[in-house]
């Protein structure tokens, strides 16, 4: 009997003896299921729980591999499947990777046995590679030690795959009066024109700051892709009807300063998926309506948006008893160093292995 009572997938559940009859396309397209489907959440939650208990905080997959994220911005490249073997169910997380003309499927993290049977996991892992349904696997550094004896070798490293902060200890650090004074937080919080909202209804300023950010990316950085899918999806999503996401909007008067979005997992984990501020946005502001002292305030806030947004959101999450914060994405070395001065924990690196 399975130690975890889970209902098998309706059409993506695969038996071990079926693997020989599949090819990479049929395996990924027809025998794996999108993470936006409600019946995958229990598998993803179980996968993250077992993996993080085994390998530490890095064992939690990035936001893009959550059901909650995929409700907002469906990512067809990420799926999950289960494979039945010896009265066991093996959970396998997948990603379709496209490197120029090279398209292949990668496993994310060592698959998880519901019965905690490492032998069954190894059989499935070897089989998936042997019949060429997958080409590579992404693992943590300590996780890699378990697959090296199976003939896996290091292929490449993705720096700064994710960034972690333990929310209670992070808030304890940034809530000290000396830190808040040094960072200008105390002064900003006293400004009558500054406020923030946790949105519970439609607000057109979400669209305003999102479009301003996109304009900045295109005109200043001259980038045309990489963020637009999530940006459009986040604007169009009915966030006010979803208790598993939080849209924070920071304001000076009625002018949006920052939009920060978290997805919330089971009251414990918070993934930051959007963080856009006026510092990196282009939209019209009527400064003529500002008093001279208001212009000075506005300029000061604009220079402190990263720290201010982090303080406001982490304070709220801490008060709601969230424990683990993840800040996904590939940071540049410069931005990562700056971010490390705000949070107080660890960078998560992602190691890619292949089988010889």
Question: In the chain, which residue ranges form alpha helices assigned H by DSSP?
Answer: 24-30, 41-55, 67-72, 118-130, 141-144, 167-174, 177-182, 185-189, 205-219, 228-236, 292-303, 305-319, 333-340
pLDDT at 95: 96
pLDDT at 160: 60
pLDDT at 44: 94
Q: How far apart are the C-alpha atoms of 138 and 352, rounded to whole Å? A: 5
Of 151, 172, 166, 174, which Cα lies nearest the Cα of 58?
166
CATH code, residues 163-348: 3.40.630.30
Its sign, for the CA torsion 69, 70, 75, 79, is: positive
Instruction: Name residues whose C-beta falls within 8 Å of residue 81's C-beta, 6 or more positions apart in sequence.
Output: 9, 12, 13, 14, 27, 31, 32, 33, 92, 94
Contact 259, 305 (CB under 8 A): no
Q: How far apart are the C-alpha atoms of 81 and 27, rounded to whole Å? A: 9
Q: How far apart are the C-alpha atoms of 195 and 203, rounded to whole Å? A: 15
| pLDDT tens digits, 311-350 | 999 999 999 999 999 987 544 445 555 555 555 567 787 8
pLDDT at 3: 43
pLDDT at 16: 94
| pLDDT tens digits, 120-135 | 999 999 999 999 999 9
Binned average pLDDT, 10 residues per bin, the chain of 356 residues: 44 82 95 91 94 94 94 94 91 92 94 95 97 96 96 87 86 95 96 96 93 83 77 94 97 93 97 89 80 93 92 97 83 53 68 94
User: Could you state, in order of their start, the residue ranges of all structural domains in the chain?
Assistant: 13-150, 163-348
pLDDT at 329: 55
pLDDT at 343: 57
Q: How far apart are the C-alpha atoms of 65 and 233, rounded to whole Å? A: 16
């Amino acid at each position: 009997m399975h130690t975890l009572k889970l209902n098998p997938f309706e059409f993506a559940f695969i038996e071990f003896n079926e693997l020989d009859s599949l090819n990479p396309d049929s395996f990924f397209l027809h025998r794996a299921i999108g993470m936006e489907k409600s019946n995958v959440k229990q598998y993803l939650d179980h996968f993250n729980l077992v993996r993080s208990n085994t390998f530490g905080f890095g064992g939690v997959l990035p936001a893009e591999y959550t059901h909650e994220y995929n409700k907002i911005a469906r990512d067809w490249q990420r799926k999950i499947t289960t494979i039945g073997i010896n009265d066991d169910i093996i959970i396998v997380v997948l990603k379709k990777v496209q490197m120029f003309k090279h398209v292949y499927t990668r496993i994310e993290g060592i698959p998880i046995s519901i019965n905690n049977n490492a032998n069954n996991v190894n059989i499935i892992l070897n089989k998936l590679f042997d019949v060429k349904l997958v080409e590579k696997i992404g693992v943590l550094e300590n996780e890699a030690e378990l697959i090296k004896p199976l003939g896996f070798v290091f292929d490449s490293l993705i720096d700064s795959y994710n960034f972690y902060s333990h929310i209670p200890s992070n808030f304890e650090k940034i809530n000290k009066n000396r830190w808040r004074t040094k960072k200008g937080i105390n002064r900003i919080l006293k400004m009558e024109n500054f406020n923030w909202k946790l949105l519970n209804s439609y607000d057109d300023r979400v669209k305003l700051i999102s479009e301003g950010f996109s304009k900045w990316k295109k005109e200043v950085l001259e980038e045309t892709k990489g963020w637009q899918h999530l940006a459009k999806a986040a604007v169009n999503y009915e966030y006010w009807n979803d208790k598993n996401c939080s849209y924070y909007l920071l304001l000076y008067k009625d002018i949006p300063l920052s939009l920060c979005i978290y997805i919330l997992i089971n009251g414990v984990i918070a993934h930051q998926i959007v963080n856009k501020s006026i510092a990196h946005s282009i939209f019209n502001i009527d400064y003529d309506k500002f008093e001279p002292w208001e212009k000075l305030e506005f300029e000061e806030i604009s220079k402190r948006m990263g720290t201010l947004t982090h303080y406001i959101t982490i304070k709220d999450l801490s008060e709601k008893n969230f424990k683990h914060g993840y800040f996904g994405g590939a940071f540049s070395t410069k931005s990562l160093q700056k971010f490390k001065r705000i949070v107080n924990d660890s960078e998560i690196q992602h190691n890619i292995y292949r089988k010889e």
